Amino acid sequence: MEKDKLKFDKKILALRAQIDEIDWQILSLLAQRQDQVEKVVKLKKKHNIPVYHPAREEDLISKLRVQAGKANLDPDFMEDLYRVILKQSRVKQIDQMQGKGVRPDTRILIIGGDGQMGQFFASLFHKSGYEVRILEKKDWNKAKQLCENIDLALICVPIEKTCDIIEEIAPFLGPNTILADLTSIKARPLEKMLDAHPGPVTGLHPLFGPDSGSLDKQIVIVTPGRDSDRCQWLVDQMTLWGAVIVPCSAKEHDEIMEIVQALRHFATFSFGQFLYEKNARIERTLEFSSPIYRLELGMVGRLFAQDASLYSEIIFATKQRRQLLKDYIASLNNHLEMLEANDKNLFIEKFDHIAQWFGPFSEQAMRESTFLINKLIERF
Amino acid sequence: MEKDKLKFDKKILALRAQIDEIDWQILSLLAQRQDQVEKVVKLKKKHNIPVYHPAREEDLISKLRVQAGKANLDPDFMEDLYRVILKQSRVKQIDQMQGKGVRPDTRILIIGGDGQMGQFFASLFHKSGYEVRILEKKDWNKAKQLCENIDLALICVPIEKTCDIIEEIAPFLGPNTILADLTSIKARPLEKMLDAHPGPVTGLHPLFGPDSGSLDKQIVIVTPGRDSDRCQWLVDQMTLWGAVIVPCSAKEHDEIMEIVQALRHFATFSFGQFLYEKNARIERTLEFSSPIYRLELGMVGRLFAQDASLYSEIIFATKQRRQLLKDYIASLNNHLEMLEANDKNLFIEKFDHIAQWFGPFSEQAMRESTFLINKLIERF
């Protein structure tokens, strides 16, 4: 038996050494691949060509899937793997391309440049060769001077200050200066900008936090105000940084964000509040957790790692929003009787109605979340 | 200019051809790697050694991170990549190992073998060389015969039927037969099994759906009943299939599941109900969606792709659960006044309290969910 064990150990060590050797070769090839990609980037940069090439990526994935099948490898596995490799390659490329500005030497004033989002955009513009000026709270006495000859004034202040700041800055702007804001509500600030400034105006809402590190594949909503043609370079610059641009009206934006931001964050907040009231043992529940619970609880925990005042601004932004949240609570109260009466049939009836209403989205959500759950299992 | 473009095209095509060549070499190496891993599995199978070797995996990752750094590759990228490779290798290994039974030729009766979960376990046991018998609703007239000489009776019926079925099957079991169930509540069924059957008893709760395909890294809760030693092979078999076993008392299990299942599913259900009431335009909101919204909405949609009666059983399982859900609604009602009064400061105060209570979990949740969000961006 002991001899058998020794023989096994020897064999398995030999096999593992071979696997290690293969891994080493893969690693060298990845390094070579990275070098080649860098050459592509340099070339693109020289010819001013955008870095992200979706068609080339999908082509490559399709080809590799076919080749994988022939080599007795699982095509899904090969695709997963190359999504990781291409993402890394894209991040590196965008990183190197950031030096490239659509309109370098343009002068940009960032109002609220001491906030996280302001700093994030200041750094992006700066890296791309723009002349970036910052106006912080303490700088209002030199506002006139800071606004001199600027091509873009970008407002990055908290929601509740946006409209006041627009009024204060507008008189200093030249008629050709673009006035833009990054606020997460759009109707009121856009109206205010159009009132206060006769020149080009555009509203922007970047759908990500300043901690995301890059604009790669991030969504930026654009709500046009006036002279869209003259604002186009700004949109092009975001695209070059990797963003996906979604244009829409300010009104529609705000309606959709009532659901996408206010309702969702309030529901998450309320759930966290209840766990706190019940003093639920988070750590212990996690030991019992399927990946999906871990994910859902993570979504709650995540909220509370962030800035309370940001969320208060989003949730309390308008009267309509507060009404929507009151409606939400009313809707929950409608379930009380069902719980009281232990009425499972009513639950099933309601459930089936909702399922029907969600339609094919449910199946899609199932697929997407299953994909993510597998990623979670892989990692932890 | 045209000539310049031609030169650029020629250069970039040459570089891409080189990258394609590198990709092809990587693919061949992955195929070689898969062959070597298959040899390891055959060897392990011959010597009856479990397939998953966490220490070996972490070692390998650490080594590769160091090597990556030396080769000017991002270590995080290398780790991401190898998590995908190792996961694939693990799935393949477990697949091949499933032929291996801890106690092959043992006779197993699955009661409720026509349900999805019953079918899933029947297929696992069958592949591992067990003699699997199925008892469906229509088979009760031959229950005595089906129970003859069985070593394990596994109950896989809906929650509300579990206790009745335990009473019905117990008289047919020999004194050495293990009686076990898979119900997602544990206290009442375990008590009932101990009352009805004098032999070995154990409660199991697999924390995953039958659609997950394998037990790889899935959690199975074990609530011991009687004669744990004699139930051990069953636990060992789950481990060999890749499951992570979490032992606990039936009482604690049920308390934790009030939060992990009932509250969570009810909150998700209520959110879905409200979206339905408001007729929210799901598809359009998704176009505006940051990956995190997509993920959160996906969690809601996912619920409604599943079986209404399963969730009704989970949510309405006990009186305590229904009380907890009523408390939850009451807690939401406490926010009404704050919304009415537009009291942002009270919101911030509550928020900060909850954040403090969540403690370091928030940061961890932030990290984990950011990792997943990046995966989502990669994919879609």
Encode pLDDT of A9-66 as tens digits: 889 889 989 999 999 899 999 999 989 988 888 888 777 676 666 667 778 888 888 8
Which range marks the domain in which residue A302 is found? 253-379
pLDDT of amino acid A97: 64
In a domain, B281, yes or no: yes
Q: How far apart are CA B171 and CA A114, in angstroms?
A: 75
Q: Is B324 in contact with B262 (CB distance < 8 Å)?
A: yes
Q: Say if residue A138 is in the same domain as residue A180.
A: yes
CATH of the domain at A34: 1.20.59.10
Chain B residues with CB-CB distance to A366 below 8 A:
301-302, 305-306
Q: How far apart are CA A33 and CA B378, in angstroms?
A: 19
- Domain final position from A97, A120, A141: A97
Q: Say if residue B342 is in the same domain as residue B259.
A: yes
Q: Say if residue B65 is in the same domain as residue B83.
A: yes
- Domain final position from B248, B275, B304: B248
- Residue of A197, A202, A245 lying closest to A227 (CA atoms): A202
User: Is it the case that residue A98 has pLDDT exceeding 70?
Assistant: no
Residue ranges of chain B with per-residue pLDDT less than 50? none
Residue type, B59: D
A and B: number of Cβ contacts within 8 A: 420
In angstroms, the separation between the Cα of residue B104 and the nearest Cα of chain A is 22
> Residue B211 gets which letter from DSSP?
G
A67 and B308 in contact by Cβ < 8 A? no
pLDDT of amino acid B47: 77
Q: Is B264 in contact with A293 (CB distance < 8 Å)?
A: yes
Q: Say if residue A287 is in the same domain as residue A257.
A: yes
* Count of domains for chain B: 3
Q: Which residues of A259-272 are buried (b: 16+ CB within 10 A; e: fewer)?
A: bbbbbbbbbbbbbb
Q: Which of B285, B308, B374 sits opposite A352 (nearest CB)?
A: B308
pLDDT of amino acid A75: 85
Q: Which of A26, A267, A378 sits opposite B29 (nearest CB)?
A: A26
Encode pLDDT of A330-373 as tens digits: 999 999 999 999 999 999 999 999 999 998 888 888 877 777 77
The order of strands in the sheet holding A201-206 is: A131-135, A107-111, A152-155, A178-181, A201-206, A219-226, A244-247
- Domain final position from B248, B263, B293: B248
Residue type, B358: F
Q: Say if residue A360 is in the same domain as residue A290.
A: yes
Q: Which residues pair with B135 in a beta bridge?
A: B111
pLDDT of amino acid B376: 62
In angstroms, the separation between the Cα of residue A168 and the nearest Cα of chain B is 25
pLDDT of amino acid B147: 96
Q: Say if residue B269 is in the same domain as residue B161.
A: no
Count of residues making up chain A: 380
Chain A residue with CA closest to B211: the answer is A370
pLDDT of amino acid B257: 92
User: Is it the case that residue A162 has pLDDT exceeding 70?
Assistant: yes
Q: Say if residue A160 is in the same domain as residue A207.
A: yes
pLDDT of amino acid A375: 65
pLDDT of amino acid B52: 63
Q: Is the pTM of this model over 0.90?
A: no
Q: Residue A297 corresponds to which tokens in the numbers above?
A: 């609880």
Encode pLDDT of B178-235 as tens digits: 999 999 999 999 999 999 999 999 999 998 877 677 787 788 999 999 999 999 999 9
In a domain, B32, yes or no: yes
A366 and B295 in contact by Cβ < 8 A? no
Chain B residues with CB-CB distance to A184 below 8 A:
none
Q: Is A289 in contact with A375 (CB distance < 8 Å)?
A: no
Q: 3-state DSSP call for residue A318?
A: coil
Q: Say if residue B220 is in the same domain as residue B266.
A: no
pLDDT of amino acid A4: 78
A273 and B348 in contact by Cβ < 8 A? no
Chain A residues with CB-CB distance to B340 below 8 A:
322, 326
Chain A residues with CB-CB distance to B264 below 8 A:
293, 296-297
A298 and B369 in contact by Cβ < 8 A? yes
pLDDT of amino acid A288: 82
In a domain, A159, yes or no: yes
pLDDT of amino acid A44: 80
In a domain, B374, yes or no: yes
B84 and A64 in contact by Cβ < 8 A? no
Alpha helices in A48-98 (DSSP H): 54-70, 75-97
**CA angle in degrees (0–180, nearest 5) for B304-A363-A215:** 110
Encode pLDDT of A120-161 as tens digits: 999 999 988 899 999 999 999 999 999 999 999 999 998 889
Quick one: CA dihedral B19, B20, B21, B25, positive or negative? positive
In a domain, A102, yes or no: no
